[in-house]
Structure 1
């Protein structure tokens, strides 16, 4: 590295282009970096979902779940295997060891499932094998409401909002909760069915057979070829009444003879309420690896355009937006990063008392940090709390090497009277091994963090690698850019071109160590060092006391995997007794939501029931939105504690009412 420093001093263009190339790559990489709250973590967990409409939980378990578990249980590397069987849906969750490649695990599971597909019930749908993707999380929740029927609101939300949002780049899925889609319902009278000797199965087969379009082949008409199709699709709902379900002698039995057809809506299995009023909720999830902030901004921009085209009376409201907290967090860290860089440069100036020296040392901060963006882009990292924390901590570290090299060059010029050009070479050569040893010791601390195992290792790997690359670039800067600039910018104290400010603060017949600022520091440190050398056992005992105190202090300090942040939002999950109907769960959840809306700082509550593939009507989720942190007195954690007390009171009252009539137990869980 000493030879590299000499080359850079003699070849300033080489040094400039070397560092400039890294900086340019970092600048262009910064634009491509995604913005997220936490790093992307690939957990080797596979989900197998099989839907069998109408099957009971016992039937689902014996006919589907047990067979799926038996098939996938032979795959190597399984850490945990669990399953849930509810009405009509079987889900098997396979968690592998962290060393297992998720893609390989998913393919092995698919191969095993294909072997038992023929053994599943005929009415069961094709099994769906999916990887658990924690990065493809919901980013925006949109509530659509209007003074119309829920079916009309659902149709508008589906055709005019959902379809347009799905076309946005980065959007992975849009799920509708609380909607009721259109459905043609055929109501039959059991007495009339018996009178005509017609079964329900015959009615269903007749509707299915007489409401379809089939290809009819091709017809040649001279030089033209025409495609023939049988136009059997029913257009008007009233025409279903004329469908023939059977013949009794010469009489054709129609649906109108045994019942009637109705243009209605499907049976409600989900529900959504915004502040107690019915609404249709659209949950927008992003694709894996996409920029959360960019996707959320694009969705809100498209939603503003869609709102202008909606029928009168329709209202759309963004209830939940994950990008708000992410933006605030990243902006706060960026502010700290800039402030830290400025303060570090000020400290350098206070001790060196030279604008030129401060500029030389301060350049190590932006060059090292900006160049780090190139590695982050190459490794697939995002701008999140972990990587930004690493860059913020590196502000005070990346400048160390440049300060040590610059100070030694400054000493050669000031104390030995060496020409700046030669001082840059000799000073860097003298201190080179010490600087390398310091940098390598830092790399020995941070680099292993990037290769830790376990969940924590997956979470903190970006921190270790980002920090290590910034430190490595700072070492390169201190041996290239720093000596090159020092050889051309630092002047001797008696040089006529020295700044007037430095002439007034540093007398010509004294070095910088005799300045009015440094002299008191030097005298104080000398006294402390003399006293320490005369009382060695006191210093040793104090050091041992500090080391021993680490154990009790570590046990006293609280521990948590993630910090407790005020995101101005939280969610409550409620599980009603098994067998509860949708209206019963809705009533229970809405009572809790009413109590929550009375809390200070709560702006909205969004209650959703029956979401997900299982559509369990006894499971509700209450999303609570708070005012910004600067506009309320209580923190999010305090409001969550008060919400738990409200839920506990509601649970106690519900238990007392149920105990009087039956032995039910209500179980609540809050997150």
Structure 2
């Protein structure tokens, strides 16, 4: 008898003393890999995003596009590995974003952009400063965030003594300790205000003493210089010579002589107020906790965001950080300051991995019990050894392939348990059947023959399963890294299961009672078990008659086709990935451009109070005018650039999922309903943002509007937004163009400028220092303390056009001249922001989906129906496209993007690869049965 590959492997191992050693070695290397594999909640996707920030001072958005944006886009588009180029042009600034293909090294991406920009700086117009290049990647996402706030159980008076400045100083010291932890990556502080020595000039006193603001700035800058000028010889040694000094505090600055007036010196303190304290209030953060009376405690706060290095184990790094925190907490953090762990991706990754490993164990035990009932308990004991061994070897393969333990890779193992056990069941059942059929034969030879009998079909079955899984390896885009662990781990599990089934299973059967009769099983007609008899009774009447066989196939075919109707009539809805049960949500608040920080604060606090009685709420962090620590979703959506007074974030932290009944998605729906009645300014938007179950996108439902000119695009985008808002399950609708605000323009009166003999540079320097402030250096405190910035700027309350500011002196030909004598001021409309994608102008309408239909395809069709119902007049509705930007922009076009793009790419790639897989399966089956017709 030709034993084949399987039979020969069984013959070599069934009685070999190496087999148990091989089994033990497999378990040990698997356990070692399980201990070494990094654990993460989500697959680590490398999708580098490089932002190029340009200060286009003095340029309107329309001019900035032509002079700055387009040349930069041309440079960036030519860089190897760039997949998408986005740009946003506003008055006085430009942001160009290069998104690289998935899998590109973040360091390589940043380096390429730097090199190309540096090599083509000549294309940047004269007067435009060199671009600032900021690269972000998945490892810049903080895995741990620590929020410092006064303890909520303290009396209000005790809590109020800790403002955001004091908390920032504590956080800064704490951060210096935490970065000592091994494998810590990017760290930063969100919220809070550092110390600052602020020189606040008084325009009236400057005029009184005849001192210009330029002179004040120059004096403090020069007085705070220190540099090495050379070396001298002293006592046969080289001694460096240092010129200058550094200002050590308020007295040093105040006593600087800036001029003389009526024969006596004029000091800095005579013309300016010197304030030592916190930096001006340009952003603010709070820690908000529900109190026992149903209200909320609103406390000042700062948050430390701590990332990890590439490839580091999030669980290990997070544990080390928290251990270090406990070590230094008593030394650096006062007792009446609470440190809240508001994000711990190490803990959530460990919980998710442990939960899925538990399910893995439950699935294994379930299969063992089933085999015990239907094959035999000794045989189920064999399977109880084989499945964990196979899974452990798969962990070892996963470690070699560079994967991590996350919810996707563990899902692959849970998914594969049902198929990886097939080889073992077939081999074990056939060996038992042969032993029963030949009770007096040598059990070893009988087992070898039994394995050889089913060996080739088992190999073909294993390869066909792998061929069916492999298409998922060829999905491109952001979804690729999410799906890749499934075919990789499942295919490895199938290969290991085959070798263990034909090498280890026969040896184990012999040890568990080789050749003895076992309960259950199946063989020939005289050796049938319960399942075999049941199958025979069911199948024989169908197979006995040709008419019955065709009738049965027809019923199955009709039922299959009929089941697809359930998708068409929406009795069964679809979604690319189900929502996961997370412990964090985000509420994004955008007020109309130009809104004050105080207005943003009011909306944020009001929104937080709407959530006060949520039973699942742990606490909230509110950030106004500054970005909250971003997650992977925020990385893709550029939430880290949200640093304007009209922008606010609420980071909503929920209780652990085992302490609450509702899932995070249900809570998000509840929060959205609560916020629907919130009183907000006209033009403001509030969005409830969940951590997506799969790869993040700019927006779940995203329509890009293309057209011949800006006005056409905005008009069509406004109508499309109306169509979005007409659909009840389309929520959180927003657009990209917003509502432009006014801005103040100060222009020079050239006639008066010439008459008074004033230099334009002096006027511009004065205006810049008055309205924007200027940093003139640092005061070095020594003793390891951080230097304190010295800044010259007016108090926020004094900022505004008026006689007082316009009386600020500027240097003229014959003495000082008031600023108001040489400048004119007026208000003007700001420009609309101009967005471009792939080198084409576009406007975007964005929304989310909530309720019964949460896949983008439902929202798209509903919006298209609403568009069709509108009266578009002679111009007609926009052309609808599902793929690719339009070639002809003479007419308005709507291109669907967002989650639809990922859905389309995923099914396109899987469909194409699956056709190839079907061909491969066909060839395997033809090779096994030597028939072209039978596989069909």
Structures share a fold, TM > 0.5? yes
Which residue of structure 1 aligns with residue 140 of structure 2? 136
- Does residue 622 of structure 1 match 2:650? yes
Counterpart among 221, 232, 253 of residue 240 in structure 1: 253
| Partners of 1:3 and 1:524 in 2: CA distance | 30
Unmatched runs of 5 consecutive residues or more in structure 1: 495-501, 656-663
**1:342 aligned counterpart, secondary structure:** helix
Answer whether contact 1:4 1:480 (CA < 8 A) is retained: no
Distance 1:280 1:51, change over 3 A: farther
The answer (yes or no) to whether the contact 1:244–1:252 under 8 Å persists in 2 is yes
* 2:352 corresponds to: 329
* Conserved 8 A contact 1:401-1:435: yes
Q: Which residue of 1 aligns with 2:680?
A: 654
User: In structure 1, the residue corresponding to 2:17 is in which secondary structure?
Assistant: helix
Question: TM-score, structure 1 length as denominator?
Answer: 0.87
- Once the two structures are superposed, residues 46-65 of structure 1 have per-residue CA deviations (whole angstroms, 9 ceiling, x without a partner) of 32234689999789767754
Whether the 8 Å CA contact 1:41–1:135 is kept in 2: the answer is no
Deviation at 1:231, TM superposition (A): 5.2
Q: Which residue of 2 aligns with 1:581?
A: 596
Decide whether the 8 Å contact of 1:67 with 1:116 is kept in 2: no
- Do residues 528 (structure 1) and 554 (structure 2) align? no
**Alpha-carbon displacement from aligned partner over 1:185-212 (angstroms, at most 9, x marks no partner):** 1122212322333221221121111112
Aligned residues: CA RMSD = 3.2
- Matched with 1:660 is none
* Cα gap change, 1:71 to 1:529, in 2 (>3 Å): closer
Separation (CA, whole Å) in 1 of partners of 2:414 and 2:83: 37
Matches within 5 A, 1:163-202: 163-202=176-215
| Deviations 1:60-79 (CA, angstroms, capped at 9, x unpaired) | 76775455334324435644
Please give the per-residue CA displacement for 1:239-271, whole angstroms capped at 9, x wherever unaligned: 101113345696543212322322122122221
Alpha carbons 1:9, 1:487 under 8 Å: kept: no
| Number of the residue aligned with 1:401 | 423
Distance change in 2, residues 1:210/1:94 (3 Å): same
The equivalent residue for 2:449 is 426
Tell me the residue number matched to 1:92: 96
Alignment check: 8 A CA contact 1:568 1:626 kept: yes
Normalising by structure 2, what TM-score?
Answer: 0.64
CA, structure 1 residues 323+184, in 2 after alignment: closer, same or farther (shift >3 Å)?
A: same
Task: Tell me if 1:549 matches 2:562.
Answer: yes
User: Within 5 Å, which residues of 2 pair with 1:47-86?
Assistant: 47-50=51-54, 65=69, 67-75=71-79, 78-85=82-89
Structure-2 separation of matches of 1:349 and 1:204 = 87
Match of residue 668 from structure 2: 640
1:498 alignment partner in structure 2: none
**Hey, which of these two has a bigger chunk of helix by percent?**
1
Query: 1:669 — aligned with what?
Result: 687
Q: Is the 8 A contact 1:37 1:326 kept in 2?
A: yes
Contact 2:139/2:310, CA 8 A, preserved across alignment: yes
Aligned to 1:314: 337
Residues in 2 aligned to 1:25 and 1:196: alpha-carbon distance in whole angstroms: 82
Contact 1:177 1:270 in 2 (8 A): no
How many residues get paired?
645
Q: Aligned partners of 1:122, 1:168: CA distance in 2, in Å?
A: 44
Residue in 1 that maps onto 2:748: none
Moved more, 132-141 or 484-493: 484-493
Residues 1:525 and 1:461: Cα distance change in structure 2 (over 3 Å): same
Q: Distance in 1 between matches of 2:566 and 2:24?
A: 46
Compared CA separation, residues 121 and 622, structure 1 to 2 (3 A): farther
Alignment map for 1:506-525 (pairs within 5 Å): 519-525=529-535
Distance 1:629 1:613 in 2: 31
Change (3 A) 1:366 1:525: same
- Residue in 2 aligned with 1:388? 410
Measured against aligned partners, the alpha-carbon deviations of 1:414-457 in whole angstroms (never above 9, x if no partner) come to 21232111112222222211111111111111123223333323
Alignment of 1:3-402 (within 5 A): 4-9=8-13, 12-43=16-47, 45-50=49-54, 65=69, 67-75=71-79, 78-85=82-89, 90-96=94-100, 105-117=109-121, 119=124, 124=129, 127-130=132-135, 132-146=136-150, 147-159=161-173, 161-230=174-243, 232-246=245-259, 251-275=264-288, 276-309=298-331, 310-355=333-378, 357-402=379-424
Tell me by how many angstroms 1:485 deviates. 3.3
- Note if 1:458 corresponds to 2:462: no
- In structure 1, distance between residues paired with 2:516 and 2:642: 79
Contact 2:7–2:455 (Cα < 8 Å) also in 1: no
Residues 318, 347 of structure 2: 8 Å contact kept: no
Partner residue, 1:604: 619
Give the equivalent residue in structure 2 for 1:559.
574
How far apart, CA to CA, are the structure 2 residues paired with 1:265 and 1:69? 40
Distance 2:360 2:61 in 1: 55
Which SS does the other structure have where 1:308 is aligned? Answer: helix
The CA deviation at 1:156 is 1.3
